[in-house]
Amino acid sequence: MRGGEPEKFFPPLPERVEKKIEYNPELNDSLWLFARAENSIIKEQIIGLLMMVEANRKTSRPKIREEVEDEYNKRLEAIKSDTPLNYEATIPEITETRKILFCRVISEERREAMPLRAKSRWPLTRKRLTVKQMSISEAHEKGHVLRDYNHDNTGSKILDEYFKPAFDFSAIDYTNDDFKMDTKIFRNLGYKIPTFDQAKEHHINYLSGAEEIVERMSQLKNYFGFSGDEIFTKEHFDYARENYVKDTGFDNRMTNFFEAITSKTEEKFLELINKSGI
């Protein structure tokens, strides 16, 4: 890596702060995201990742820290100040080539848009999302705006490699139900229906990207109500693996996410969730 080892871009981990292991379904996920994003340690960690990208940029002028921090502050203020709404019953698009649930382009800036009439596509039902599930979705998409890790190829490649050691995506059990779900998604988006193997490859490529990894990590911290730089422990992870989907009734690939964190990668996962601005 041309910019040096990743560790040079991050502040040291804070002293361990105990966080009670409990789930409160009444908590608003976006508020926890905002609180952590304003925490000085978490902010420094996110900026550290972004500066690592800039240090390895080859095709354009790397941004200086002041520019990166200014953009971060503007994105944070944007997601705190409003939540664009979409009244269509269908899933909105973000671009012609990149389509993400609950996102769209607003004034050429990437912003989340909550579809008030949209129905859930997890699992294979047509039930409307609950208030809590909408809260989880909103925070997930606001996190994409805040961290913006899919902005360009340089950032995507570097950050994908950074998070890669925490996962073994070959451990995912891609089932026929997963394939049926993905077939419906491809059909709804007007794409050619893939074969089972094509759908599995697409699924893993999607889930293994840094921008999706960090927001699912963020979902876990929101689940417990993390409001700052508290340490996410193995006890938190074990509890979430067992209870997250059951408690929330919301499986936006979280089952597969947990499957990809194996006994060999779990230690690295815990390290990265605590040092990477989640």
Sorted by where each begins, the domain ranges of the chain are: 26-275
Lowest mean pLDDT among 30-34, 45-49, 68-72, 146-150: 146-150
**pLDDT higher at 251 or 114:** 251
Tokens at residue 50, please? 């972004």
14: amino acid identity, one letter: P
Instruction: Tell me which H or E stretch contains 236.
Output: helix 234-248
Instruction: Read off the pLDDT of residues 214-246 as tens digits, 9 standing for 90 and up.
Output: 999 999 999 999 999 999 999 999 999 999 999
Determine the Cα–Cα distance for residues 272 and 130; give it in Å rounded to an integer: 31
Helix, strand, or coil (residue 103): strand
Whether the predicted pLDDT of 4 surpasses 80: no
Phi, psi of 166 (to 5 degrees): -85, 0
Whether the predicted pLDDT of 66 surpasses 80: yes
Whether the predicted pLDDT of 255 surpasses 90: yes
- List beta partners, residue 23: none
DSSP state of 221: H
Residue 209: other Cβ atoms inside 10 A: 16
The region, left, alpha or beta by phi > 0 then psi within -120 to 50, assigned to residue 30 is alpha
Whether the predicted pLDDT of 14 surpasses 60: no
Helix, strand, or coil (residue 111): strand
Q: Which of 141, 143, 116, 112 is nearest to 129 (CA)?
A: 116
* Under 8 Å between Cβ of 33 and 218: yes
pLDDT tier at 1 (50, 70, 90 boundaries)?
A: low
* pLDDT of amino acid 98: 34
* pLDDT of amino acid 15: 61
pLDDT tier at 128 (50, 70, 90 boundaries)?
A: confident
